Structures are given as C-alpha cells and as structure tokens.
A and B are shown apart, each in its own frame.
Chain A
Amino acid sequence: RKEVEQDPGPFNVPEGATVAFNCTYSNSASQSFFWYRQDCRKEPKLLMSVYSSGNEDGRFTAQLNRASQYISLLIRDSKLSDSATYLCVAHTGNQFYFGTGTSLTVIP
C-alpha cells in the first residue's frame, strides 16, 4: 500500500471556481504534512504546511484529519496561474513521502 494516495485528476475548472483536492496517508505515525505545487518540467515548491487546526493562506485552505488520516486542500476563486500539479506530502521519521500529484487546469 502506498504511503500517500491522491486522486490524480485531471481537474479542469473555470476561472473563479472552488476546487478541493484530497489525500490519504497510511502511517498513523506521520508527524507533519505539506502541500507542494509543481509546474510543468519544474521542481516542486512548498505551497503550505498542514496543521491539525487547519490553516489558510489567502485563497488556499489546508486541513488535516488525523483520525481519518486525511489531508485536504481547498482553492477558492481559481486563477489561471493556479494551473499546476499539487503534491501531497507526509513526513514520517526521516523520510518524506509524496503522493503522485493531482493535476489542475484552470480554464478562462
């Protein structure tokens, strides 16, 4: 079983839409979680860390549910520039486990 599982999409949404990505992790000992963004043929870059209390950064909201071992990312008022692949990451011990990524295309 993969450590982190994500719906690969693709998600095609119109500008201004709200879109949600979900991710599950298998190891209850995972201690921290992140969402990364990866543009085509580029390196991943941190979008936001995910905290148990939930956290928000502008149009982006991340939530963690430890009981269900579930992480989510909500993007409100989607912009064309949000088009990218979003990677869910679980940090367990000294290792970081990446999901396969969810592809988002925002359409004009």
Chain B
Amino acid sequence: NAGVTQTPKFQVLKTGQSMTLQCAQDMNHEYMSWYRQDPGMGLRLIHYSVGAGITDQGEVPNGYNVSRSTTEDFPLRLLSAAPSQTSVYFCASSYSSRYNEQFFGPGTRLTVL
C-alpha cells in the first residue's frame, strides 16, 4: 500500500492564481481531511469528508473548496490564492471518523507571492 499520497510536494503561486492540491489513499478509508500547518498555530482543519459524496467545513474553510467523488481521492482547490494561504498542507485519512488514528500524507509546501 502507498498509504496517503499528496502532489505536488512544493508549489509557488502568484496572488490570484488557482490550483488543486491532490490527495489519494489506497486503504479504503471512509474519513479524509485537509489541514494546514503554520508556525505557532499547529494543524488546523480546513475541510473533511466522512465518505464519498459528503464533505463539511472545518475550522478554517474560507478560500478553499473540496469534493469527494470517490473513496480514494480528496482534492483541495484554492480558488484565488492569497499570501495568507502560504502554508504546509497535509491530507489525512482514517478508517472512520470514530476512535481511529489518522494517517497523514507527506505534505505540500505552498508559497503564494
């Protein structure tokens, strides 16, 4: 199993550009989530999904969209990048949202100029 994979590893955008961060898992996990990690702020939940076709907002959803058309994939879209979105983005998955550990992808380091 590859576990949780994320692409790209690094990305530089200009303000106003849009892009999609890819996340995939091959563990047949129901629950998937996106976090951003900033210095001194810890990991903050952006969006999550409890199964295909179901998504919900986390703590910091503004400026991001998600969709979950399959169990395996959970892409995160930045609609119009802003410097405040410079961060490290982690995707995670777990078997379900209840009482289960999350497995994290390696992260995407995004810089918005």
Could you list which residues of chain A lie within 8 angstroms of chain B, going by C-beta atoms? Answer: 4, 8, 31-32, 34, 42-46, 49, 87, 91, 93-101
Contact = CB atoms under 8 A, between A and B. Distances in A.
A47 to B, nearest CB: 10
Contacts, number: 49
Contacts of A8: 40
Contacts of A94: 31, 48, 50, 56, 97
A62 to B, nearest CB: 13
Determine chain A's interface SS by DSSP, over half rule.
Answer: strand
B21 to A, nearest CB: 14
Give the bracket for the number of chain B residues in contact with chain A: 20 to 34
Contacts of A97: 45, 59
Contact of B90 (A34, A44, A95): A44
A31 B100 CA distance: 11
A43 B89 CA distance: 10
